[in-house]
């Protein structure tokens, strides 16, 4: 597949997280063809229940006026959960590019119902990262999506 | 009205935020009749786009197993926006107690559609705090909900 430089940045974030002992999910925020924000899941690193990758990337932007968010595209290596989806809807981000949704199908239908453009790349690296992670550390993954480990 | 000690704690949080120059919205998390987490909106104080009151209160809990959230009640002085609603749904919090929803009607319908119990107190202090704040600082309020100031 053709490399998408913004998804590659999100993947780089995911790998940074993995290297630090975290959950390998990354995100980037792009405005006018430039990466303006980025981040990765910080559950382990910050003992955080809210710093999913998308939230970290949004937080890296600091405070922005409403119009700012309406001009960005959010890249994330994994389909966004209901919390991250809610943040996307709050700030009316018009376009979300998703690495993969086979490991976890987030609230893509809710995004679309609100008029958000959703692009799923089905990127093999995104999928393989999560599969390898879940195989070795299933309890972390389940904690991250608020599910009791089966 | 009879004072609800948990909503009073959320109001106390909102007032702490206001004193610090922030947006007066507060939240508390209650488990087995005890306040286990609390927080307030930190947009101004931390230049944060994600630390709404409910998110701050959830973050104050650190990492918890899935079952933990399913046994708590979340108190918030203001009806939860789509981001905070998404967090409530992610962690399957079964009951949300809302100070008021006249200033801002959040995603209460979505919460109810997912089986979350929603209690609205229509608490005069919560309403008056927000009304006074918006009258003096409308731009901050609009920024917080991702809306262009009219």
Write down the ipTM of this complex. Answer: 0.97
Contacts of B23 in chain A (CB under 8 A): none
Flag if B90 and A146 touch (Cβ within 8 Å): yes
The ranges of chain B with pLDDT < 70 are 1-2
CB neighbour list of residue B94: distance below 8 Å, 6 or more residues apart: B70, B71, B72, B73, B115, B116, B117
Flag if B85 and A86 touch (Cβ within 8 Å): yes
Q: What angle do CA B53, B57, B62 make, to 5 degrees?
A: 145
Size of the A and B interface in Cβ pairs below 8 Å: 97
pLDDT tens, per residue, chain A with 150 residues = 668 999 999 999 999 999 999 999 999 999 999 999 999 999 999 999 999 999 999 999 999 999 999 999 999 999 999 999 999 999 999 999 999 999 999 999 999 999 999 999 999 999 999 999 999 999 999 999 999 877
Instruction: With beta carbons less than 8 A apart as the criterion, state whether B86 and A85 touch.
Output: yes
Residue reference for tokens 């630090």: A20
pLDDT value, residue A3: 80
Calpha distance B125→B108 (Å, rounded): 20
Closest-CA residue in chain A for B58? A49
Report chain A residues touching chain B, CB-CB < 8 A: 43, 47-50, 55, 58-59, 61-67, 69, 81-87, 89-92, 107, 142-143, 145-148
Flag if B145 and A89 touch (Cβ within 8 Å): no
Flag if B49 and A85 touch (Cβ within 8 Å): no
Buried b (16+ CB within 10 A) or exposed e, A100-136: bbebbebbbebbeeeebebeebebebbbebbeebbee
Flag if B89 and A66 touch (Cβ within 8 Å): no
pLDDT value, residue B150: 73
**DSSP character string of A65-110:** -HHHHTTEEEEEEE---HHHHHHHHHTT--EEEEEE-SS---SHHH
Shortest CA gap B3–chain A (Å): 30
- Pairing of β B95-100 and β B72-78: parallel
Closest to A16 in 3D by CA, of A8, B145, B94: A8
pLDDT value, residue A34: 98
Flag if A81 and B86 touch (Cβ within 8 Å): yes
CB-nearest partner of A64 from B49, B64, B90: B49
Contacts of A43 in chain B (CB under 8 A): 63
Which of these is catalytic: A13, A54, A100, A107?
A54
Interface test with A, best of B51, B60, B83, B108 (most A CBs within 10 A): B83
Q: Which residues of B are catalytically annotated? A: 54
Which pTM was predicted? 0.97
Contacts of A48 in chain B (CB under 8 A): 59, 62-63
The pair of three-digit structure tokens given for residue B6, joined into one six-digit string: 């948990």
């Amino acid at each position: 597949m053709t490399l998408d430089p913004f998804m590659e940045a999100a993947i780089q974030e995911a790998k940074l997280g993995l290297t630090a002992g975290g959950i390998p999910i990354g995100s980037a925020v792009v405005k006018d063809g430039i990466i303006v924000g980025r981040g990765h899941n910080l559950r382990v690193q910050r003992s955080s229940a809210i710093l999913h990758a998308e939230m970290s990337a949004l937080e890296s932007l600091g405070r922005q006026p409403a119009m700012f968010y309406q001009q960005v595209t959010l890249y994330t290596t994994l389909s966004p959960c209901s919390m991250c989806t809610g943040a996307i809807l709050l700030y009316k981000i018009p376009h979300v590019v998703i690495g993969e949704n086979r490991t976890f199908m987030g609230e893509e239908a809710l995004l679309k119902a609100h008029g958000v453009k959703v692009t799923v790349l089905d990127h093999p690296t995104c999928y393989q990262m999560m599969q390898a992670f879940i195989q070795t550390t299933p309890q972390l993954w389940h904690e991250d999506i608020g599910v009791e480990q089966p």
